[in-house]
Structures are given as structure tokens and as C-alpha cells.
Structure 1
């Protein structure tokens, strides 16, 4: 197994000024650590084939944010990346340029919503979860395997479970070690989404998504040399089942987070950031609007709320229209700039899994955070102390009203950096290097 040691150099292309604003923002983020990295004489690095269940740019929701920030950090640390990603439709030129700038090689596999496309994957669905089945590339598998063999990676990094069938194939075909990034106890998370689903379509989708999931998740963990789990609580669960190959890897915050926290003038009293599509988020935001806000408005009638989220459910979008003192911001591009628009960040979601990326961004926004108990699930105990936790509507509203009258100190930045800074990428690489050196028999 060849480890690459070399000095890192970064050069921005001459035509960067001609590309989109998102691309320019990405370039600034990628180059920000240039001086710090180059001061290190040598960096241990790998050639890594990363399987991303969605194309992570632009990072419009928590799962994509987690993938994207880690890819940027791996790139900044000198690793060579081959990225295999899936998404619906064609990959437009702007997104392709950004992906090519991060990856030495990007293999894009389009998904389709047609009956013919779905029919191709029905047989595999008798054994595996549906959203893993539709990512099986069929006739393109040979081309993908050849591209990976030509790239000659040291490891496969499975970022999310959806691409596991392809990861298994590459692991067996090319004899490569597999490492897995776990976002959730997935079978439990999908069951919770099913419980909160209110429409027939949502209940069907979540039911189908959960079929074969528990067995599949165990297979992924058993095949992985190391599972890098986002949640300290989930690690305890897997350890209790006898798995000893689980390590903690928290999400990494973005390089532009400090700039976002310097803004002082909040436009809204309260702000929520999260997708407006999944059943648990819809239930949580509905609870906030119908149970909590009326109590607040009785005491403070002009209190304003910003709801910022991606891909709203059409029925829920119609519900939100026209509610006084509530503004809806769809598909925001920069979480930090959105969150500092509120004096207080709120998280009304009552059930979730893993770690909610929105909470990490809320901490970095430097605002007080009021959340229900599930909002701190998966976080270390030191970080949980940074939140105001309230589960009942009266407690939630009272906490908000008190903070609006008397804002309190937020979390210490040094503490946040110790948990969510880019030092975690070095720990990730060190763990992989140690595993490859000391336990070759597990590969």
C-alpha cells in the first residue's frame, strides 16, 4: 500500500473570474488554508475513491454540507480524490467545473424518475434497499471499475450508505479496503420518518425505503475496516451490538464560518434553517408555527420568524404562504449568512438521527439556540451545554421570550474548533494509515 508524502501547492486557474459566483466562493474556501498547509513540511496523504450518494455541490442540505466540507478538507490536506456521485438529470457545466476542481476524476451517474429506469432495478430490490438499488450502474459498471482501477486508489471511502452496492463490487473486484461514513442508525431513522409521514405518498416512500435496511446496514459495517460515525450516541448503539470498528468523526464546519459570525445586525427575531421536505422537519416546523408562535405573539405580537430551507414539499409550501410575521427563504446558498439574520436560532424538530448539521452551523453563527432534546442528540456533552433545551411548547416559548429580552453568551469558539475544526481530517487520515499498517488482514 503506497502512501504519498509531499508538499502541497495550490494554484488558482486564470479563468476563475469568469465562472459563477458559487465557483468563486468555492475557490476562496479551497485556498484559505494555503499558507497554513504549506508551512507543514510534509503531509501524509492518500489516493481516495469517494462514493457520494448525491453530487455534493451545491451543498443545499445537511447531508451534502457534511460531504462537501469533508471533501474540501481532504483536498486541502493534499489527498487525491476520485469522486463517484449520483443525482437526477444531467450535471450542468457550472457544477461539473466545481466538482472537477476538487476531484482528480469525477464519475457522474445520472438517476431518472421514469418507469423504465425503475423497472431495471426491481429484481435487485428483493434483496437490497431501494435507494441502493437505483444507484447500481448496470451496463456502465465495467467502465466505472476500469476508471477506478486506472486511478489506482489506496482506499474506498463510502460517504453515506446509498452507494454501498457499487462500493462492495469495487472492494471485491479490486481488492480495496472499504471505509464508511455513517450519518445515522439508518433503519431507525427511516422508521421515524415513516411515523411522521402524513401523506399517502410520503408513507409509501418511507415504507419502501426501509425495506431490507437493517440487514444492509449491518453488512456495510461488517465489510468496513473502520466506520467513521457522526454521532457519539450511535457509536454506543453499535458498540452494544458487538461492533468494535466504530470511530467518532464529527462534522467539519466551513472555512467561511468565522466571517459569517462577524455580522451583528439581525433582521429577524427567530430563524430556523433546515429542509422543508422530510416528514420530521415538516412536523417540527408545524409544531413551532401552531403551538409555540401563538404563545409568543400573545406576549410580543411583532415577533418575526425566518424559515430557510431547501426543496419544500408543495403542500407544505402552500400552508406557509401568507402567515403574518413569517418569511420563507427557499434554497439558501450560505447557511452562515442566513443564520445571523436572526437574533435567536430555533430547532423545533422532535425526532432526528445522527447529528443535525444545522445545529453545528447555528453554533458557529454565534447566536443563542433553543432546541428540543433531539437537537443535541449525537453531540458530545461539552457541546450540548451550548444549547437551551426545551421540549414542551410553553417551555420553548418562555425560553425564547426570555432570550429576546436578555440575550446570553453563546458557545466558546475554541471549544467548537476543538470538536469541529479541520484537525479532525488529520485524525481521519491518521486512523486510516494506522489501520492499513497494523491490520492488513481486515482488508
Structure 2
């Protein structure tokens, strides 16, 4: 029920599709998928089954067949049979099984086989490369947990894409990678923009009291590495030119080390914000100093939706079409990133910097993109 997935559910419902959804909770997911979130999910789906992630011996045994993340979401034979019976009883006709992200790959493939319908897979990353990089960037126990997910991932990921009637890749770059390996059943499907953030750009102007805003997961190793680079090598350069510049860091799951560091620098931290739109509304310039990752950075899409200047790196612009990248200020060296940030803040303070991107956001990141790929025959590019 990540933001990208829940937005897609809303769009599918708006397009007239009846969606019966399956999600998971358990462990670190419990505080993320609470009763409020479940109620929101039930409001946009025809039905919702919530399963528990397996963290016991059966998961370890299933790792002989599947990567760890997938093994933890492979129900027992009894549970699968009960789930299949519930799904069959709810639906008079089923058009497809849509697997949104690699975690549900084994169960989704099994359900499609049992129900005799096409399997559609949504790829968020080249997972085996993304997870290997995340493991390299992580520290302590997190490194071991992420590394366990790399085992068997490349083989499973390719097999899932091969078996799918169609796979829909978040990134045009990643789609090219898979086509180079011989997989021709892939289509590009960009992420959806958040309607609440788009409304910020279209709504009345509010007082912008924050010069710079970063908003993203504060537990992801790639985001933490990017922030570390920005705070150590870029922000001092910005402050040397604009001593009164204001920066806010916001996002889910910040650790104590980051919180302590920001406190020492007198940089406000907004932990686990309930919604993003208000934070974006009060900021002049959006920052995404990410140095690692694959797929498409959802942060970048959300930042573009604000209509405000966005300063990012080549990784932050990865996987997006050229006309969208042209709306970003891209810099990969500390000195050029700092200069771009100073210029953006200076212009925004003077009342400039805003861009009407509404038409582009609807064309590239609107619900029509899903309508097009769902209507596309498997034989067409």
C-alpha cells in the first residue's frame, strides 16, 4: 500500500475497474499499515485481504525456492486454498491478476495460473541490482537483512517477467535494460502524481516560509547517503552565500543518528508527516540529492507536481522522458548542486521560479497512462 500503489488503485477505480486487493502487514509494516490506512484502502477497493508476512521457519524453508521478501509472502497451501475460494466467490468474471512489486510475485503468479487469467506485473526497479546496491549502502543489521533479499532475486525476477503476459516498468531506462536481455513483453508505465500535491500547484498561493525542502523515506539507505552528501558537501556552500537559508528535512522513519545530526545543525526535522501536500505548499524549492537507486524516483515526480523549482541529480532524473527532465535542474557535483540551489532560492524569494506543469503532469503522470496500458494488446509495443 505504498503511495505509488495506492494512487494506482484510486486511478483504476476512477477508470471503472473493480479491484480486489491483497496486501500484507506484520513486523515493521504494522505501524505503516494501521487501521486508518486499511480503512482508506477498503474505500477504494471492492475487497481487501490483509495477510501476515511470515517471519518464521517456514519462510526460511521457502527461501530455497524464492527470495526472502517473496518467501515471506508465500502462504501455506491451506491459506492459499482459502484465499482462492474467497476471491472466486467474490467475482463473477476476473480479467487479470496484477502483481504490483516483486514481493507478491509468487502468490500472484500462482493465482493467475489457478484462475486461468493473464498475469500483469508492475516492476518498480531492476530489483536484483537495486537491492544489491541498497545492501552495500546499508550498515549493521540492515545490511544483512537486505542482503538476504538479494539471494535468488535475479533468477526469480527474470522468470516472473518472462511468465507475465505483460510487465509494466516504472522506468524507461529499466525497460531498455530488460529488452536488451531479450524480454519483449514490457511496456513503460510511469508513476502517478499525487492529486493532493497537484492541487497545491493549482490552489491559491500560501506563505512559503521554507526555502528548501527534502521529503522522502528517512530509513532508505540511498536517501540517507544522498542527505549525508548534501549536508556534508553542499549545504555549507549554500549557507556561505545565503546565511539565512532555511531547510526542512521530512519523511518516514528517521533514525536517531540523523535526528541528532540535524539538531546539531539547527535543521528542522518533520518525522512521519501525515501528509505531504502542506509541507510542499510552504516550500520555495524542492531538493532531491539522491546519488543511488534505480527505477524512477517518486520523490522527483511529487516535487515536479508542486510547480516549484526542483534541484536534483542524474539519479533523481533517471528513467524520465526528456521533456520531463527538462523541467528539473540537474547537478551531480557539490559545487554545481550548491550553485543551482542558491540560484533557485534567490529567484524564488524574488517571486519567480514557479512553473505551470499541470498539462505535462496529467499527460505523463495522470490516470490516462494506466488506461492506455490496460487497453494495449500484448502484441503491440
Is the structural similarity TM-score above 0.5? yes
Asked if residue 332 in structure 1 is aligned to residue 277 in structure 2, the reply is no
Shift of 1:411: 5.6
Shift of 1:385: 0.4
Aligned to 1:128: 66
**Counterpart-to-counterpart distance in 1, 2:210 and 2:62:** 49
Aligned to 2:319: 378
Alignment gaps of 5+ in structure 2: none
Asked if residue 286 in structure 1 is aligned to residue 228 in structure 2, the reply is yes
Aligned to 1:84: 22
In structure 2, the CA distance between the partners of 1:315 and 1:82, relative to structure 1 (3 Å rule), is same
Q: TM-score, length-normalised on structure 1?
A: 0.79
Q: Judge conservation of contact 2:197–2:280 (CA < 8 Å) in 1.
A: no
Q: How do residues 361-376 of structure 1 correspond to structure 2 at under 5 angstroms? A: 361-376=302-317
Aligned to 2:86: 147
Q: Judge conservation of contact 1:81–1:105 (CA < 8 Å) in 2.
A: yes
Aligned to 1:390: 331
Q: How do residues 348-367 of structure 1 correspond to structure 2 at under 5 angstroms? A: 348-367=289-308
Aligned to 1:244: 184
Report the 3-state secondary structure (helix = DSSP H, G, I; strand = E; otherwise coil) of the residue aligned with 1:157.
Answer: strand
Shift of 1:340: 2.5
Report the 3-state secondary structure (helix = DSSP H, G, I; strand = E; otherwise coil) of the residue aligned with 2:323.
Answer: helix
Q: Judge conservation of contact 1:129–1:213 (CA < 8 Å) in 2.
A: yes
Q: How do residues 4-43 of structure 1 correspond to structure 2 at under 5 angstroms? A: none
Q: Judge conservation of contact 2:120–2:167 (CA < 8 Å) in 1.
A: yes
**Counterpart-to-counterpart distance in 1, 2:120 and 2:181:** 19
Aligned to 1:25: none
Shift of 1:210: 0.7
Q: Judge conservation of contact 2:235–2:338 (CA < 8 Å) in 1.
A: yes
Q: Judge conservation of contact 2:288–2:312 (CA < 8 Å) in 1.
A: yes
Shift of 1:423: 1.2
Deviates more, 1:294-303 or 1:242-251: 294-303
**Counterpart-to-counterpart distance in 2, 1:203 and 1:177:** 36
**Counterpart-to-counterpart distance in 1, 2:10 and 2:65:** 35
**Counterpart-to-counterpart distance in 2, 1:99 and 1:404:** 38
Shift of 1:413: 2.3
Report the 3-state secondary structure (helix = DSSP H, G, I; strand = E; otherwise coil) of the residue aligned with 1:343.
Answer: strand
Asked if residue 269 in structure 1 is aligned to residue 211 in structure 2, the reply is yes
In structure 2, the CA distance between the partners of 1:364 and 1:322, relative to structure 1 (3 Å rule), is same
Shift of 1:96: 3.3
Q: Judge conservation of contact 2:187–2:373 (CA < 8 Å) in 1.
A: no
Q: Judge conservation of contact 1:335–1:361 (CA < 8 Å) in 2.
A: no
Report the 3-state secondary structure (helix = DSSP H, G, I; strand = E; otherwise coil) of the residue aligned with 1:154.
Answer: coil
**Counterpart-to-counterpart distance in 1, 2:254 and 2:116:** 42
Report the 3-state secondary structure (helix = DSSP H, G, I; strand = E; otherwise coil) of the residue aligned with 1:242.
Answer: coil
Q: 1:329-369 CA deviation, whole Å, 9 max, x = no partner? A: 11123223212322110111101111111111101111111
In structure 2, the CA distance between the partners of 1:84 and 1:362, relative to structure 1 (3 Å rule), is same
In structure 2, the CA distance between the partners of 1:192 and 1:172, relative to structure 1 (3 Å rule), is same
Aligned to 1:99: 41
Shift of 1:322: 3.6
**Counterpart-to-counterpart distance in 2, 1:315 and 1:140:** 41
Report the 3-state secondary structure (helix = DSSP H, G, I; strand = E; otherwise coil) of the residue aligned with 2:269.
Answer: strand
Q: 1:309-338 CA deviation, whole Å, 9 max, x = no partner? A: 1112343333333422x1111112322321
**Counterpart-to-counterpart distance in 1, 2:194 and 2:347:** 29
